[in-house]
Amino acid sequence: MEKGEKISYFNLSGLPDEILNIIFQKCTFLDVSSIMKTCKRFKLIVDKNRSTLPKASLKHLQIEHRIYYNNNIIKDEYMVVVRYVAAKVDKNKYFSKTFNKINCKESEIALFINSCSWEDVENVHIILMKNSNILNVITSRLANFQEHKIKTLYLHIEGIGMRNSLNNFLTSLRNVNDLFINKLCLRGENDGYQGKINITNLKRIEIFECCCTKYCNEDLALPLYYQNKGGLNMFLNVNESDFKIKLIDAAVNEYIKENGNNYIRDVIAITDLNPLIFHQIDRIMSKFGLKYEPNFEEQATNCTFVHLFIAKNDSDFLNVIEDPRKPYLIVSIVAIYRKSNNYCSIWNRLI
């Protein structure tokens, strides 16, 4: 470069229209987003024709809104990681690509989300450490795309005034296999989940930490259990005795409705083996005319298992004691002590 020559930025003023046509046929918004920052003309072209760009097939979406300290100043930023499937230019084949960006704006995240299709999403990973509008952005996308499928959804939500956003987000979900809630702290929100859960193919739900247990347990987990009886694995941080009894009552009701092999066993595990809980169990069993017998079992893992052998009459009761593989063992109460925390588990037992 000769002395005094000016450095020119990337310019597309002479780019043939044929090249632009190829870009708009084969490239997704995620593919060209980095080029948009280096050329104003190209950015104007893409912004004007964004709707004509092919949709990236979303596979993995990770959004993290974290808080950090810098020179005693509290700051926060978004990080986004998107793994998607894109088409090759030369062949009618597809390959996986990864897009990531640190210090994103919410408006940018909205563009990334809306530039993808959600037919075969494998993972959605959301961490929000303070109030955020991102759940509303994703909800609007899911509401407009009813056929979305999410294999694994991971949530970590903390913030004031986030309950309505979380309500709308959970209500918009349709197809989710595994739901993990690492932490849910709505801070001062005492009301439970409000809405109708539509996840009918859920296989597993795990809630590890929650300061609003009514929201998670009674208003969220219990309706999910009713919708997914016989095939749902559930791991909850549960302390309320009333909720435990409601789970047992739900399992017994399902047992009464079905006969013999039509019944798929539910194994309900709850914490804190307070002897008073058996008075409530007695009430439930006598209401339905059921017979049951608790069978205590100590485990080397410092867990106490209480299997409730339940049957409809004396003959069935003798059969289940002789052969526990029969469909009359429906409830197990488990106390699990790990790191001084009590947990509750529900899983489907297949024998």
Q: Which two tokens stand for residue 99?
A: 């897009």
Q: What is the pLDDT of residues 44-60, one digit of tens each?
A: 777 777 777 777 788 89
Q: In whole angstroms, what is the distance from residue 294 CA to residue 315 CA?
A: 18
Q: What is the pLDDT of residues 140-171, one digit of tens each?
A: 888 777 777 888 999 998 877 788 888 888 88
**DSSP conformational letter for 115:** T
Q: What is the pLDDT of residues 66-79, one digit of tens each?
A: 887 777 777 788 88
> Shortest CA distance to 346 belongs to which of 275, 280, 264, 259?
264
Q: Are 281 and 268 in contact (CB under 8 A)?
A: no
pLDDT at 126 over 90: yes
Label residue 328 by pLDDT band (50, 70, 90).
Answer: very low
pLDDT at 273 over 70: no
The one-letter code for the residue type at 52 is T
Question: Checking DSSP bridges between strand 121-128 and strand 56-70, what pairing results, if any?
Answer: parallel
Label residue 261 by pLDDT band (50, 70, 90).
Answer: low
DSSP three-state, residue 50? helix
Note the pLDDT of residue 297: 56
Label residue 338 by pLDDT band (50, 70, 90).
Answer: very low
Give the Cβ contact number of residue 135 at 10 Å. Answer: 23
Helical axes 134-144 vs 163-172, angle rounded to 10°:
20
pLDDT at 125 over 90: yes
Q: Are 135 and 126 in contact (CB under 8 A)?
A: yes
